[in-house]
Amino acid sequence: MKTIHGLLLACLAVLPFASGGVWADTQNPPETVTLGSVEVTATPIPEHQDTVPQTIQVFTHAQLVALGATDLRSALSLAAGVNISPGGDGGPASAIPEFQGLVEFDAFLLLVDGVPVGGAFNPNLASIDLNDVSRIEVIQGSAPVKYGATSFVGVINIIHRKAGAPGSNASVLYGSYGSSSISIASPITSSGPVLQSIAADYTQQNFSDPRTSYSRSHLLYRSAVDTSSGEFHLDLDGLILNQKPASPRPLPDGANALSPLVPTDANNNPSDAKMDQNRVNLVLGYNTDLGWGTWTTTLANTFTHYSNIRGFIRSDQLTDNGAPNADGFNQTQDFTDIYLDSHVTFSPVQNLKLATGFSYLYGNGQEQSANFQYFIAPSGINPPPSTSVPVDEYTTQQDTRRFFGLYAQSDWSFAPRWDFNFGLQLNHDVESVNASQTPTDPSLAPQSGSDSRSDTRFSGIAALGYTAWQEGVDNTVIYANYRNTFKPAANDLGPEYDPTILQPETAQAYEAGLKGTLLQGGLDWDASAFWTNMNNTVISTDVNGLPGTANGGQDRFKGINLSADWNISTNWRWQLAYSYHDTTYRNFTDLTPNGLVQVAGNRLEMSPLNLFSSGIFYMPPQGWTGMLVVRYVGSRYFDPENTVSTPAYVTYDAGIGYRFSQWTLRLDGRNLNNQRPPVSNSELGNSQSYILPARYLELSASVQL
C-alpha cells in the first residue's frame, strides 16, 4: 500500500513535464456543458448560470471525469459552501451533505433529472449512482417555487445524458480491500423519432472494517419519442442495494474525545446486520409546443422496500461484563412516492418570461420493527446475530404525506443589464400518522396513537441581478435575493414509537453577491454572503421523564462562499472554493444527562467555521493526465453545549492516468494521508459519530466508442 501511495505522488510530481493537448470532454462531447451554460434547477424557467441572481454551481461531465468521481463526496469536493460526509445513518453507500453549516441528511432537496429522490420523506442518498451523468447542479439555499416545502437549505440536481445521446463508454475498476465495479452506458438508437439509451453497472465496495461494505446493481433505461404534437419521455430505473453498515464511535458522558475502548474500525452491529433496499422508479414526461408557449408535464412513481438489521452500543455503558449494553432492531420499511408537475412557460411580452403550474407530491411509508437488547464487547469482537436475543417490543408506524403546490415564476429583463426574478407558490400540505407499540412483557400495556396535521401557506423568492460590467464574453454581475420557505418535520419511520407530528420549520434567507467571468471566459468566479434565520426547529426536551422532541428552537446561519474556476491553458485547470459558516443557536434547549440546557449563542454541532478546497488538473485529450485535490475542514464541536471539540483536518486526493485515442487508464487515491476524524453525528446512536473512511486506492480502465 505504501509503495503504491509513493508511486502515485511521484508520478503526479512529474506531470508538468508531460506533453499535452486541450482540456476537453472526450468521454461524451455532444453532452458537454460549460460554465455560463443554461441551468434548469434554480427556477422553472431555464436560465444562464452566469446571470441568474442566485448562487448556483454546475459540475460538468468533463469535471466529474477529471475528478475521477465515483460518489457524491468526490463529485462535489470542489463545491463552495458544501461539505459531503460519507456514510452516516443511511449506510456506507450514503452521505450527509452540509449546506450553510447545517449538517443534516434531511435539510436539503435531492433531485435526479428534476424528480425528488426520497419523495415526500427523506433524500435517498444511498441510491445515487453517477454512471452516465451529464452534469450536477448545486444551489445554495432553498428552491421555494416549484419544489416548495421539500427544499430548505440547498438543492442537488443530478442530470443524466439525454436518451439516445451519441457515444458509448464502458469501464472496470479494482480498488482497495477487494473492491470492484463494472459499468456500461450506450445509446440503443441515436437517430430517428425514437431515441433510446441504457446505463448499467455493478459495484462491490469494501472498507477497512471487514464487516462494512455494500454492493449495488443499477439499471437505467431512457427513451424519447418525437411525435407530431410533442416529445414523450420514459425513464425506467431499477436498483438493488445491499449494505453492511458501519458503526459510529461513541462519546461517553463527560469525556472530551471519542472512547479509546472502541477501536477505529470496530463494528458494534449484530453479526447479521444489513441495510438492503430494492427500488423501482418509473418517470413519464411530455413536452409540447403550444405555439404561444411550452407545456411540460412530469409524472414519477417510485416504490422502495427496505430491510434493516442494526444495533448501537450505548455510549454510557461501554462495559465488557456480558450484560446487555447495546440496542438493536430488525425492521422492514415500504415507501410509495408519486410526483406530478405540470407547468406552462411562455413570454407574453418581450423580455418577460413566465412559468405557471402546479405540483403534487404523495408519500406513503410503513414500518414494522422488532426491537431488542444485546451484549457486544466494545471492541466489536464476537457479535451475536439478531436472532439469538429476545425481542423486547414490536412497533409499527404508517405515515401518509401529501404536498400540493400552485406556483408562478417570472424572469423580467425590465431594462438593459437588469434581471428580476419573482416567484410565489401556494402550498397545502396534509399528513397523518398511525403508530403502535406492543411490548413482549405481558405486564406492560400496548400503546397506540395517531396524529394529523395540515398547513396552508406561501413560499417564494424575489431576486435581482445587474450586469455592472460587460466586455465581450467577460462580465461582472451584482445580485441579491430573498427566499421564504418552510419544511414539515421529517419522519424517517424509525423503530421507535412516535405517533406525533411536529409543526413545520420555517426559514427566511437573504443572499447577496458578485459573480462573473474574466480572461475571455477562461476564469469564472463567484463571491456571495448569506444570512438565514430558521425558526420552530426541533429541540430535545423531557416528556414524562423520557427524552423527546418538540418545536421551539431558533438557529441563525450566516457566512460567505467564494469560488473560482480557471482554465489556465489548454491543458491545465485550477479550481478553488472557500466558505466561512457561522452557524449558531439563537434559542435552543438541549437534553443532557444533567437535564435541559439552554445553548443559545453556541455553534451547531459538527459545523466547521472554515471550509477550503483546491484542485489542479492536467487533462489533455491524449497522453498523461493527473489531478490533485486538497481539502481543509475546520474544527468542530461534537455537542450543542460546545464542551467537546475535534481539531481541523486536511485530506489529499490524487490521480494519474494515460489517455489513448479511445482507452483511458488511471490510478486514483482518496484520503491519501489516511485521516480518520469524526465527520457526522448519528441520529440513531446517542452521542456517537461516524468517522472518515481510511485511505483508498483504485485502478480503472475505460473505453469510449
pLDDT digits (tens, 9 = 90+) for 27-61: 444 343 343 456 677 677 877 777 788 888 999 99
Residue 174 pLDDT class (50, 70, 90 cuts): very high
DSSP strand E in 619-695: where?
A: 623-633, 636-637, 645-646, 649-659, 663-670, 678-681, 688-691
Question: Which whole-number Å values give the CA distances from 367 to 409, 565, 650, in the listed order?
Answer: 38, 46, 40
Instruction: Compute the average pLDDT of residues 442-449.
Output: 96
Task: Write out pLDDT tens, residues 484-518.
Answer: 988 887 788 889 898 988 888 888 999 999 999 99
Residue 85 has a pLDDT of 92
What is the CATH number for 590? 2.40.170.20
CB 577 within 8 Å of CB 78 = yes
β-partners of residue 250 are: 688
pLDDT at 538 over 70: no
pLDDT at 1 over 80: no
Residue 215 has a pLDDT of 98
Residue 44 has a pLDDT of 77
Instruction: Compute the average pLDDT of residues 302-318.
Output: 95
Residue 61 has a pLDDT of 93
User: Which residue, 249, 83, 77, 62, is CA-closest to 154?
Assistant: 83
Residue 163 pLDDT class (50, 70, 90 cuts): very high
Tell me the C-alpha distance between 679 and 696, whole Å.
17
Residue 272 has a pLDDT of 98
Least confident of 167-171, 337-341, 349-353, 536-540: 536-540
Residue 536 pLDDT class (50, 70, 90 cuts): confident
pLDDT at 612 over 50: yes
Mean pLDDT (the chain) is 89
Tell me which amino acid residue 399 is.
D
Tell me which amino acid residue 665 is.
L
Residue 142: all three cell numbers together: 432553498
Residue 504 has a pLDDT of 86
Question: Which whole-number Å values give the CA distances from 653 to 361, 576, 614, in the listed order?
Answer: 39, 15, 10
Q: How many domains does the chain have?
A: 1
Rg of the chain taking only CA atoms, in angstroms:
25
| Residue range(s) defining the domain that contains residue 184 | 2-704
With a CB cutoff of 8 Å and minimum separation 6, the contacts of 46 are 38, 39, 40
Residue 143 has a pLDDT of 83
Residue 2 has a pLDDT of 43
Tell me the C-alpha distance between 304 and 244, whole Å.
18
148: left (phi over 0), alpha (psi -120 to 50) or beta: left
Least confident of 10-19, 349-358, 670-679: 10-19
With a CB cutoff of 8 Å and minimum separation 6, the contacts of 113 are 157, 158, 159, 160, 235, 283
540 vs 312, higher pLDDT: 312
Helix, strand or coil, per DSSP, at residue 72: helix
